[in-house]
Amino acid sequence: MKRFATYLMVVLFVSASAFADAADVGRSLKVQTFQLKHKQADVAAGVIKPLMSADGSMSIQPAANSLVVTDLAENVKKIAAALAQFDAPPQPLQLSIRLVAASRGDAGRIDSALSDVAPKLALLRYNVLESAGSAQVTGREGEAGLVDLTGYRADFRFGEYDPASDSVKLSDFKLLKLDGDQLTPVLKTTLNLRLGQTVIIGATRQPGSQRALMIVVTARR
Amino acid sequence: MMSCDTFRSRFRAGNDEPAVLEHIRTCDRCLDYAAAVDPDVMFRALGGEELIPAGGVDAFVGEVMQQVRVRSAETRVGVAPVVSWPRRLAIAATLVAGVTGAMLFNRWDAPSRPGVRTPSAMHAQARRSAILATKPIIETYESEKATFVDVPSEEAGDDVKIVMIFDENLPADL
């Protein structure tokens, strides 16, 4: 009986030690400051937010363009790695823009260059698709871009690449229509483009309009 | 069974004939008569002689004591604990060890404990990271009266996304 009692005590001691150890491991917090060279600290804050634990916190110092992160030591390591990857020099980007004049007619007519998007636009019952110009633009994050299309002009700014959504922002995208020597603004917007995804922005006055201007854009590295 | 007349004719003081005594067990009037003649007849009528068991009192007592011992032994067997104390302790220790082991295993496997990551927890984190956050395609637009419609894709994982902008301010000759 004494032997079994001893065994019981040993088991209880070991389990109590294990739980006590489990409660303490990894609880120590670490504070580290990260100064960003190429990217904005507030944007970087959004990148590391998903990596932080419930015990973590961070503050942005705009003047120094830095982040002060307090978190578990292991998390701080991961955050450091993520920031090192994120705070890279501006990346080259490539943008493909196509303008399509879409309309609904009795007889369908599709420009051969638009065969890839025609099935998608057929969902909207646009069966007449005419190319209104296309262009390829290359640039870097933060740089401005200008595209001259047939009868239209587009200018914009490449925004920062967001690894969390694998997308790049196209800021202040302005589409202007050339009327002789005059440029008439058509629309102004800011777009988030996932890399490799073709986005079709259809612009028309009303849902029942028979005509629409389709802006087909694809961003790539 | 004898009649009352026969009883009264045969009954005398000190009579202990079984047939006579049998009659007064069932006849109250004759019992009163007999008690008046011989008060001790009541005790004899109880059948004192018949109380002596066959084989004698000693044999009877022996049998009774044997039964008492048998019953006592049966009771001891029935009430005795099924599991002894050492075995109980062993079972308790095994249960504690099992529960402790299971809890430790769960804590090791669970990703909820910050700071300590198992390979499986890191795998789960990697899988979560692989699911990208989504942003609206149109983040801003100059006209507040415009309506945006996300055209649902027919195919899962479609790499073409359509967003329609309905805006009365757009030029009529698009």
- Show the domain range for B15: 4-45
How far does the CA of residue A60 sit from the closest CA of chain B (Å)?
22
Per-residue model confidence as pLDDT tens digits over A2-46: 665 666 666 666 665 555 554 555 568 899 999 999 888 998 998
Q: Which tens digits make up the pLDDT trace of A92-148? A: 999 999 999 999 988 889 998 898 889 888 888 899 999 999 999 999 988 999 999
Q: Mutation test of the interface with chain B: which of A13, A115, A120, choosing the one with the most B Cβ atoms within 10 A?
A: A120
Rg for chain A, CA atoms, rounded: 28
- Show residues of chain A in contact with B114, CB under 8 Å: 26-27, 53-55, 72, 75
Looking at residue B163, its pLDDT comes to 93
Closest Cα in chain B, distance from residue A63 (Å): 27
Look at residue B114 and tell me if it is in a domain.
Answer: no
The verdict on a CB contact (< 8 Å) between B115 and A73 is yes
pLDDT at A153: 93
pTM: predicted TM-score of the whole model, two decimal places: 0.55
- C-alpha to C-alpha distance for A14 and A22, rounded to whole angstroms: 12
* Torsion angles phi and psi, residue A165, rounded to 5: -115, 5
Q: Which residue in the set B107, B161, B172 is minimally distant from A199, CB to CB? A: B161
Specify the pLDDT at position B129.
46
The answer to whether residue B54 is domain-embedded is no
- Residue from the list B86, B97, B133 with its beta carbon closest to the beta carbon of A164: B133
Domain boundaries along the sequence of chain A: 26-89, 92-220
Task: Give all strands of the β-sheet with A66-72 in edge-to-edge order.
Answer: A29-35, A66-72, A57-61
Q: What share of chain A is helix, strand, coil (3-state, %, to 5)?
A: 25, 50, 25
Residue A206 and residue B168: Cβ atoms within 8 Å? Answer: yes
The answer to whether A201 contacts B151, with C-beta atoms less than 8 Å apart, is no
pLDDT for residue A78: 93
- CB-CB under 8 Å, A200 with B162: yes
User: How many domains does one find in chain B?
Assistant: 1
> To the nearest 10°, the Cα dihedral for B162, B163, B164, B167?
-160
Q: From chain B, pick out residues whose CB is under 8 angstroms from the CB of A5.
A: 89
Residue A173 has pLDDT above 90, yes or no: yes
CA-to-CA dists, residue A197 to A16, A129, A175, B168, angstroms: 54, 21, 21, 28
CA distance B134 to A192: 9
Give the containing element (helix H, strand E) for A74: helix A73-86
- Over residues A35-76, the pLDDT tens digits come to 999 888 998 998 899 999 998 999 999 999 999 999 999 999
**Pair of tokens at residue A153:** 């002009």
> For position A162, what pLDDT does the model report?
83
Q: CB-based contacts of B93: which residues, under 8 Å, 6+ apart?
A: A4, A7, A8, A11
Scanning every residue of chain B, which has its alpha carbon at the shortest distance from the alpha carbon of A179? B173
Flag if A8 and B93 touch (Cβ within 8 Å). yes
Q: Assess if residue B83 is contained within a domain.
A: no
Inter-residue contact A95 to A137 (CB < 8 Å): yes
All residues of chain A having their beta carbon less than 8 Å from the beta carbon of residue B112 are none
Give the distance from residue B58's alpha carbon to the nearest chain A alpha carbon, in angstroms.
48
pLDDT averaged per 10 residues in sequence order, chain B, 174 residues:
87 83 86 88 68 72 87 70 77 89 71 44 46 82 90 74 92 81
B 84-123 residues with CB < 8 A to A? 85-86, 89-90, 92-93, 96-97, 100, 103-104, 107, 113-117
What pLDDT is stored for residue B125 in this prediction?
47
Q: Do A26 and B113 touch (CB under 8 A)?
A: yes
**Residue B8 falls inside a structural domain:** yes
Confidence of residue A152 (pLDDT cuts 50, 70, 90): very high
Which positions in chain B touch A72 (Cβ < 8 Å)? 114-115
d(CA B138, CA A191): 5
Q: In chain B, which residue's Cα lies nearest the Cα of A52?
A: B114
- Tokens of residue A152, six digits: 């239209």
**A26-89 CATH fold:** Ribosomal Protein S8; Chain: A, domain 1 (3.30.1370)
- Mutation target among B83, B108, B137 for the A interface, most CBs of A within 10 A: B137
Residue A191's pLDDT is 94
The 8 Å CB, 24+ separation contacts for A183-188 are: A183/A153, A184/B171, A186/A152, A186/A213, A186/B170, A186/B171, A186/B174, A187/B141, A187/B142, A187/B143, A187/B165, A187/B167, A187/B170, A188/B141, A188/B142
* Best CA proximity match to B173, nearest among A212, A66, A65, A188: A212
- Disruptive mutation site among A2, A8, A25, A150 for chain B (greatest number of B CBs within 10 Å): A8
